[in-house]
Chain A
Amino acid sequence: MSDEAREAIGDYRFGFHDPENATIRFDKGLNEQVVRDISELKNEPEWMTEIRVKAYHHFMERKMPDWGNCGELNNIDFDNVTYFLRSSNATEGDWDDVPDDIKNTFDRLGIPEAEQKWLGGVTAQYESEAVYHSIREDLEEQGVLFLDMDSGLREHPEIVKQYFGSVVPHTDNKFSALNTAVWSGGSFIYVPKGVHVEMPVQAYFRINAKNMGQFERTLIIADEGSSIHYVEGCTAPTYSTDSLHSAVVELIAMKGAKIRYSTIQNWSANVYNLVTKRGVAHENATVEWVDGNIGSKLTMKYPSVLLKGEGAHAEVISVAYAGAGQHQDAGAKVHHLAPRTTSNILSKSISKNGGRSSYRGMLQVTPKAEGCRAKVVCDALMLDNQSRSDTYPTMEVGNSTADLEHEASVSKVSGDQLFYLMSRGFSEVEAMALIVNGFFEPFTRELPMEYAVELNKLLELEMEGSIG
């Protein structure tokens, strides 16, 4: 394989950004006053301010994790991060009112306006707050609440108070503490009993300010027997100084409910992406994470599910793509806490140009969780000899009735595949792209079509860049 072809896979291409358009920007660095100021600026209830302050102190006291890529984690300079930035004062409900430079960004990502027609609603997070927010009327009629998190807190404080931090408490880890202290934006969704949201609802997030922290907080509650598919996509412009992204996502699927949360993240190669995603599945409920990690300097993310009620089901499908200087430390955690719960984990990773991808998984079956079934499949594809792929699976099984399967494979692109594809008219770079797209296909097919197209296009754009 030529260096050119290798070079072509996964090089970061979406390096454009719009002129910064911020109207409120805090000084860099974090202290209790910054936390209180953020809360005050948003006119939050006092209980939220107190949660933030408590979380801030926990963050300061909590040690950095001593696992994963701790060397890289210790390079994060928390004093050099902007913890709050507001780019647009109003939350808008009409696409026509969205500022042009923001629209340009979406255009360049190839997100067609027409998409909205069939999507349930859009919140596009730009900088720290939602600038565009639309809910289709039929969603509203069904009683579905779909707001940015700040509005959710303002308009439905009783729901937020009940569930905020109930799945991911601020004491969970250092970064969940940080997020709880300084969170801004994200989505708040409540689906009433028995309501099925047919179309995926989606939000786009991006980082567009130098050294700006992005700390969105998402809370989704699907009440009994309801279902929703939430889609989140990220691309970030390239900057020379480091950026920190530390989100928290909490999902609550009540009895018989189903939540699917799909993500494609494509951070530029300077971003630390340290995200805590966790869902609770009650009796016969399903929580599904579909999680794609492309880019970033270091990603540490392990979407997890607590199977709390009998017969609950978890599905975690993830892909990771590590290029030069990148480390994707990703995986999944499933805790079987109740009888007859089931789970599937499928993890696929690609490393190239010395990139490193690690699968880190945890599968727990407690003693009282009888008759559980779990399957873990990890596939790694290496595009050259300099890259690295590791697997760190952990299984804690507390009873003998569990039916567990674990499969792992590491493969390389073969010369036979390249020759075959090239004999069909594909250049080496195109052939590689096809093989890579194929490897990701079990993930891609789970995405709404326009996301799948966007992901494949992303790879193809990257190829073109290297040939050009």
Chain B
Amino acid sequence: MAEEILRIENLHVKVEDTPILHGLTLTVNRGEKHVIMGRNGAGKSTLASVIMGHPAYEITQGKVFFMGQPLDELDVFERARAGIFLSFQYPAVIPGVQVGTFLKKSVQSVRQEQLKARAFRKELNEAMNTLDMQKSVLARYVNDGFSGGEKKRLEILQMLLLKPNLALLDETDSGLDIDALRIVAKGINQIAPDAGCLIITHYQRLLDHVKPDFVHVMINGQLVMSGGPELALKLEDQGYDWLDTPEVEA
């Protein structure tokens, strides 16, 4: 029986005074990979940020439940500790904080336990090997001077270590070359069986490596159509113009 990870009911969201999401409904179960596609400005990244709890976004209507619990009761870090992970499109630079230190502290914060140095090192080594990452990255500062591909790889590394129940991937595939794309896909596929995945992307090409269970099209802050992998192929081929633009209340 399917275990519900994320349930979004008629979600309306605004940022400052601009409404962005207009009644979005979606359920993600454990083990399912959902892909959301859509043009720039459709509200895809907003959805990911809202689920993570970004303070700039205000929910004006509707509800989000994570494993049965209303999310509005949880602060950002409590959501992380409950098992929500967001792979950022533009991860922040934290000068002076070494990646190795950051990863260990982050995993400790999320798991709320002191890690044994040796056990953590082993875990870290395995994850880095999976993602074909150099050990030297551990001594660098978080995202400081990283290329786009390095940043995305570090995001996926964190995802492997944090083992989330819900993985939100916000354009993780953007700007990656084919090798990096394959590696990122490997990371997603590794956690996917045990998590609910919500993958936001512009491109079909990631889906050559990550096979989605559902593909949704977002236009004007609503999901206007859902289907299987074939929908992504059609969008790649024909664009979004054949879809009706939903009307939005003023």
Partners in one complex: yes
Contact mask for chain B residues 86-130; partner A; CB cutoff 8 A; 1 contact, 0 none = 101001111111100010011101100000000000000000000
Which residues of B (151-167) have their CB < 8 Å from a CB of A?
Answer: 158, 162
Interface centre among A425, A426, A434, A439 (most CB of B within 10 A): A425
B residues less than 8 Å from A415 (CB atoms) = 55-56
B residues less than 8 Å from A404 (CB atoms) = none
Contact mask for chain B residues 172-216; partner A; CB cutoff 8 A; 1 contact, 0 none = 000000000000000000000000000000000000000000000
Closest 9 CB pairs of A and B: A438-B96, A441-B96, A425-B109, A425-B110, A438-B97, A420-B92, A422-B76, A425-B80, A424-B106
Q: How far is the CB of A9 from chain B (nearest CB, A)?
A: 15
Nearest A residue to B56 by beta-carbon distance? A415
Instruction: Answer whether residue B240 sits at the interface, using C-beta atoms and an 8 A cutoff.
Output: no
Instruction: Answer whether residue A83 sits at the interface, using C-beta atoms and an 8 A cutoff.
Output: no
Q: How far is the CB of A432 from chain B (nearest CB, A)?
A: 12
Measured in the bound complex, the distance between the Cα atoms of B94 and A414 in whole Å is 10
Give chain B's interface residues, CB within 8 Å of chain A.
52-56, 75-77, 79-81, 85-86, 88, 91-98, 102, 105-107, 109-110, 141-142, 158, 162
**A423 near B102: Cβ-Cβ < 8 Å:** no
Instruction: Answer whether residue A440 sits at the interface, using C-beta atoms and an 8 A cutoff.
Output: yes
**A423 near B94: Cβ-Cβ < 8 Å:** no
Residue from the list A419, A427, A437 in contact with B96, Cβ < 8 A: A437
Given known A-B contacts A424-B158, A425-B80, A416 and B92 have beta carbons under 8 A apart:
yes
Instruction: Answer whether residue A73 sits at the interface, using C-beta atoms and an 8 A cutoff.
Output: no
**A434 near B77: Cβ-Cβ < 8 Å:** no
Which residues of A (424-447) have their CB < 8 Å from a CB of B?
Answer: 424-428, 430-431, 434-435, 437-442
Residue from the list B55, B75, B93, B109 in contact with A424, Cβ < 8 A: B109
Interface centre among B55, B94, B96 (most CB of A within 10 A): B96
Q: How far is the CB of A274 from chain B (nearest CB, A)?
A: 30
Measured in the bound complex, the distance between the Cα atoms of B95 and A269 in whole Å is 29
Measured in the bound complex, the distance between the Cα atoms of B97 and A421 in whole Å is 11
Measured in the bound complex, the distance between the Cα atoms of B142 and A424 in whole Å is 13
Measured in the bound complex, the distance between the Cα atoms of B162 and A423 in whole Å is 11
Residue from the list A426, A435, A439, A442 in contact with B105, Cβ < 8 A: A426
**A425 near B77: Cβ-Cβ < 8 Å:** yes
Given pairs A434-B105, A438-B94, 12 additional interface contacts (CB within 8 A):
A414-B92, A417-B94, A421-B94, A423-B86, A424-B106, A425-B77, A426-B77, A426-B109, A427-B109, A430-B105, A430-B109, A435-B97
Nearest A residue to B109 by beta-carbon distance? A425
**B80 near A437: Cβ-Cβ < 8 Å:** no
**B102 near A434: Cβ-Cβ < 8 Å:** yes
Measured in the bound complex, the distance between the Cα atoms of B102 and A147 in whole Å is 41
Give chain A's interface residues, CB within 8 Å of chain B.
414-417, 419-428, 430-431, 434-435, 437-442
Nearest A residue to B79 by beta-carbon distance? A423
Number of A-B contacts (CB under 8 A): 82
**B91 near A420: Cβ-Cβ < 8 Å:** yes
Residue from the list A422, A430, A434, A437 in contact with B75, Cβ < 8 A: A422
Measured in the bound complex, the distance between the Cα atoms of B40 and A7 in whole Å is 40
**A419 near B55: Cβ-Cβ < 8 Å:** yes
B residues less than 8 Å from A423 (CB atoms) = 52-53, 76-77, 79-80, 85-86, 88
Nearest A residue to B112 by beta-carbon distance? A425
A residues less than 8 Å from B93 (CB atoms) = 417
Q: How far is the CB of A461 from chain B (nearest CB, A)?
A: 16
**A439 near B96: Cβ-Cβ < 8 Å:** yes
A residues less than 8 Å from B94 (CB atoms) = 417, 420-421, 434-435, 438
A residues less than 8 Å from B97 (CB atoms) = 434-435, 437-438, 441
A residues less than 8 Å from B56 (CB atoms) = 415
Q: How far is the CB of A189 from chain B (nearest CB, A)?
A: 32
Would you mind naming 23 contact pairs between A and B with Cβ atoms under 8 Å apart? A417-B94, A419-B52, A419-B55, A420-B91, A421-B92, A422-B75, A422-B77, A423-B53, A423-B88, A424-B102, A425-B81, A425-B106, A426-B77, A426-B105, A426-B106, A428-B77, A435-B94, A435-B97, A437-B96, A438-B94, A438-B95, A439-B95, A441-B97
**B54 near A419: Cβ-Cβ < 8 Å:** yes
Q: How far is the CB of A1 from chain B (nearest CB, A)?
A: 10
Measured in the bound complex, the distance between the Cα atoms of B75 and A430 in whole Å is 14
B residues less than 8 Å from A421 (CB atoms) = 92, 94
Measured in the bound complex, the distance between the Cα atoms of B79 and A136 in whole Å is 53
A residues less than 8 Å from B91 (CB atoms) = 420
Measured in the bound complex, the distance between the Cα atoms of B8 and A32 in whole Å is 81
Measured in the bound complex, the distance between the Cα atoms of B76 and A440 in whole Å is 26
Q: How far is the CB of A101 from chain B (nearest CB, A)?
A: 31
Measured in the bound complex, the distance between the Cα atoms of B109 and A431 in whole Å is 11
B residues less than 8 Å from A419 (CB atoms) = 52, 54-55, 76, 92
Measured in the bound complex, the distance between the Cα atoms of B76 and A441 in whole Å is 26
Measured in the bound complex, the distance between the Cα atoms of B56 and A419 in whole Å is 10
Measured in the bound complex, the distance between the Cα atoms of B140 and A441 in whole Å is 12
B residues less than 8 Å from A435 (CB atoms) = 94, 97
Q: How far is the CB of B97 from chain A (nearest CB, A)?
A: 4
A residues less than 8 Å from B105 (CB atoms) = 426, 430, 434
**B75 near A420: Cβ-Cβ < 8 Å:** no
